[in-house]
Amino acid sequence: MNRNSKFFSFSFYLLIIIIFNSITVSAQINIYHKGWIDFNKNGRMDVFEDPAQPVEKRVADLLSQMNVDEKTCQMATLYGYKRVLKDSLPTSEWKTEIWKDGIANIDEQLNGVINGPERYYTNNLTYPYSNHAAAINQIQKWFVEETRLGIPVDFTNEGVHGLNHDRATPLPAPISIGSTWNRELVLQAGQIEGTEAKALGYTNIYAPILDVSRDPRWGRVVETYSEDPYLISELGIQMVKGIQSEGVASTLKHFAVYSVPKGGRDGNVRTDPHVAPRELQEMYLYPFKKVIEQ
């Protein structure tokens, strides 16, 4: 091969690389359109990407495009940094991890709390709030742009007695909140949680707990409002209203007979409830029914 041929081959190869990179960059930029996002990156607006379509049709369309791995990942929680996730922000290795196919939610990401009093800080990503929100947005951007279907992540966090973040406002234990019988105060508490969660970038709070605590031997009575289904439902309604008034989802805990473990024990037997059907309907499901109906 003469020099001209080698030069032509090299130039052609370089041109291909330039074109390929241009296409890649263009594809990343062009997924964002006015009023919609090309999540699956196929260059057209699918039903699930169309905000004007009914939710039911969008869900059905998205499900029809998902493979088994993607559906499985949407059934899973990825516990955040220093729990399961080893990275505070996306890395190149994420393309080979399970969540390369998406994930339903990342829980307690960058909340600065782990193993009781131990705390961790990562390049000021825990605080101030603006840095934390920017980090959450960067992670969300990775899931939208780097996974096949671009399904966004739900960023969850605990909120049993205040948002579980090292710079959030702590609230009394729920058993103390229940003792107040003060609907207005609980509404304000929910608004505080929702406001702080929204500022930090969380989209879903695990609160309130609507478990009915009838056996004092159970180890999590302190996390419940009381033994009375009516009081629990009344305070639960206010907490949900407060949280969701700030544009953050409220997840009710712990549907539905979590608080009735055999013999009042916790740990390995907490999913072995002993409860009669009538008691289940009239007591343990009552708070969930009332709050959901609001």
pTM score of the predicted model: 0.85
pLDDT band at 271 (very low <50, low <70, confident <90, very high): low
Please say if the pLDDT value at position 115 is more than 90: no
Please say if the pLDDT value at position 157 is more than 60: yes
Looking at per-residue confidence, does 248 or 17 come out higher? 248
Domains and their CATH numbers in the chain: 76-293 (3.20.20.300)
Q: What percent of the chain has pLDDT over 90?
A: 72
What's the whole-number mean pLDDT along residues 56-70?
Answer: 98
Tens digits of per-residue pLDDT, 210-245? 999 988 888 889 999 999 999 999 999 999 999 999
- pLDDT at 219 (0 to 100): 84
- pLDDT at 122 (0 to 100): 67
* Least reliable range by pLDDT among 3-7, 48-52, 287-291: 3-7
- pLDDT at 14 (0 to 100): 45
Looking at per-residue confidence, does 142 or 21 come out higher? 142
pLDDT band at 183 (very low <50, low <70, confident <90, very high): very high
- Give the 3-state DSSP-derived string for the chain, with helices as H, strands as E and coil as C: CCHHHHHHHHHHHHHHHHHHHHHHHHHHHHCEECCEECCCCCCCCCHHHCCCCCHHHHHHHHHHHCCHHHHHHCCCEEECECCCECCCCCCHHHHHCHHHHCCCEEECCCCCCCCCCCCCCCCCCCCCHHHHHHHHHHHHHHHHHHCCCCCCCEEEEECECECCCCCCCCCCCHHHHHHHCCHHHHHHHHHHHHHHHHHHCCCEEEEEECCCCCCCCCCCHHHCCCCCHHHHHHHHHHHHHHHHCCCCEEEEECCCCCCCEHHHCCHHHCCCECCCHHHHHHHHCHHHHHHHHC
- pLDDT at 269 (0 to 100): 60
Tens digits of per-residue pLDDT, 247-260? 999 999 998 888 88
What's the whole-number mean pLDDT along residues 262-287?
Answer: 82
